[in-house]
Amino acid sequence: MLKVLKFGGTSVGSLERIENVAKRVAKIKEAGDDVVVVVSAMSGETNKLIEYANHFSQNPKKEEMDMLLSSGERVTSALLSIALNEMGYPAVAMSGRRAGIVTDDAHTKARIEEIDPSNMQKELNEGKIVVVAGFQGVDKEGNVTTLGRGGSDLSAVAIAGALKADLCEIYTDVDGIYTTDPRIEPKAKKLDKISYDEMLELASLGAKVLQNRSVELAKKLNVNLVTRSSFSEDEGTLITKEENIMEKPLVSGIALDKNQARISLMGVKDRPGIASEIFNALANANVNVDMIIQNKAHSGKTNIDFTVPKTDLNDAKAVVDTFVDNGDIEDDSYNEAICKVSVVGVGMKSHSGVAAKAFSALANENININMISTSEIKISMVVDEKYGELAVRALHEAYELDK
């Protein structure tokens, strides 16, 4: 069997932990499996590197950020490979480039376009353990790129897909996917299985346990994906097709996204094509727009509010400024003290009253809802940042997810 194992930042957070990972990998190799390991940077390392860059600039060139940030994962891949070789298990460390990962040129959040697995395959054929630096690739010109925060998950899934691996295991600091972040609600319950679609919603809505693009790709390539703990032998959570899950609860989980900011555009010229111009310009700047609210126009002017990740706010401001400068927008304002809480479940498709219950749960806690959006399988609400965790606990209880 070919397994792709990914170890996150906490799992490789110290030399001792890297040694433990080496032992765990060796055991799996010993059992007769072929192994590719994908590693993150040691915990805190990526944030530290970002702080270093911010010491010199608040808006550093993205190409240079990728040079900087990709180094964290190279350190751990080399260290793990050194440890494995020393233990008598032939291993080879590879950067994203050597692993054949080619991306577009959207620096700091590049998309994988193709993978040439021949270097990895050659080493596997020789019986070696391949240790790949996650979170990175190169564009067609050979410039180093990174895949967005949490991107080592995506590296693992993409490599599993390219090598047609039998299993992709994501080892982290919790023993699976819970009904909500167990650090916010200790009563959260571990799920044995969750559908790709629900996991994709949870991940996109802030549950950082898996990067959302990795789930999207796992679904597309039908990769068998498991999340489990580096620190225990417990069985984790299987992320699989909806039809493989017998029980379909109304609500599967609650997510909290603190990386959200609200942008308000006042006095927007109300003419056909204006929304298309603004949001196309944002898309071209790679800004990820989420909720959008447009108010009824008065005397040819309207207001538009929308949310973006805080990490996209600088790029969004630059785009909005161009519309303010040419007079299409009178004024703009920004609010970073917000967050988004979301309720996710495939069972919602066939039930009514699910949203009403969410609104009541927040009302009972006196939490004001600023924006709402819904889809077939989710309800998202923007609230003040300081009430985010309380809202999560209130919703968790309202849908009896602790039962």
Q: 3-class SS at 170?
A: strand
Of the pair 204, 302, the CB lying nearest Mg ion is at 204
Residue type, 134: G
**Interaction of residue 209 with ligand ADP, rule CB under 6 A:** yes
The secondary structure of 321-363, three-state, reads: HHHHHCCCEEEEEEEEEEEEEEEECHHHHHCCCHHHHHHHHHH
Of the pair 24, 208, the CB lying nearest ligand ADP is at 208
Contact 369, 362 (CB under 8 A): yes
CA 39 from centroid of its chain's CA atoms:
16
Token pair listed for 239: 């992320």
N-to-C CA span, the chain = 37
Q: Which of 134, 150, 176, 253 binds Mg ion (CB under 5 A)?
A: 150
Residue type, 301: K
Instruction: Please choose which of Mg ion, ligand ADP, ligand ASP, none residue 173 contacts, taking the beta carbon within 5 to 8 angstroms, the exact cut-off set by kind.
Output: ligand ADP
* Apex 250 CA angle, 247 and 254, nearest 5: 110
Q: How many CA atoms lie within 13 A of 363 on its CB side?
A: 6
Of the pair 150, 309, the CB lying nearest ligand ADP is at 150
Q: Which of 72, 96, 161, 253 binds ligand ADP (CB under 6 A)?
A: 253
Instruction: Please choose which of ligand ASP, ligand ADP, Mg ion, none residue 134 contacts, taking the beta carbon within 5 to 8 angstroms, the exact cut-off set by kind.
Output: ligand ASP
**Interaction of residue 206 with ligand ASP, rule CB under 6 A:** no
**Interaction of residue 13 with ligand ADP, rule CB under 6 A:** no
Q: How many CA atoms lie within 13 A of 168 on its CB side?
A: 30
**Interaction of residue 10 with ligand ADP, rule CB under 6 A:** yes
Of the pair 76, 108, the CB lying nearest ligand ADP is at 76
For the CB of residue 6, give the shortest distance to ligand ASP in the complex, in Å: 8
The secondary structure of 218-239, three-state, reads: HHHHCCCEEEEECCCCCCCEEE
Instruction: Please choose which of Mg ion, ligand ADP, ligand ASP, none residue 174 contacts, taking the beta carbon within 5 to 8 angstroms, the exact cut-off set by kind.
Output: ligand ADP
Point out which span in 51-59, 174-182, 323-331, 356-364 binds ligand ADP (CB under 6 A).
174-182
**Interaction of residue 171 with ligand ASP, rule CB under 6 A:** no
Contact 306, 323 (CB under 8 A): no
Contact 295, 302 (CB under 8 A): yes
Site string for ligand ASP, 122-161 (x = CB under 6 A): ------------xx-------------xxxxx--------
**Interaction of residue 100 with Mg ion, rule CB under 5 A:** no
Q: Which residue in 187, 150, 172, 186 sits closest to 236, CA to CA?
A: 172
Residue 166 burial (C-beta neighbours within 10 Å; 0-12, 13-18, 19+): middle
Site string for ligand ASP, 60-99 (x = CB under 6 A): ------------x---------------------------
Q: Which residues bind ligand ADP (CB under 6 A)?
A: 8-11, 40, 150, 172-174, 177-178, 180-183, 202, 207-209, 253
Q: Which residues bind ligand ASP (CB under 6 A)?
A: 8-9, 40-41, 46, 72, 134-135, 149-153
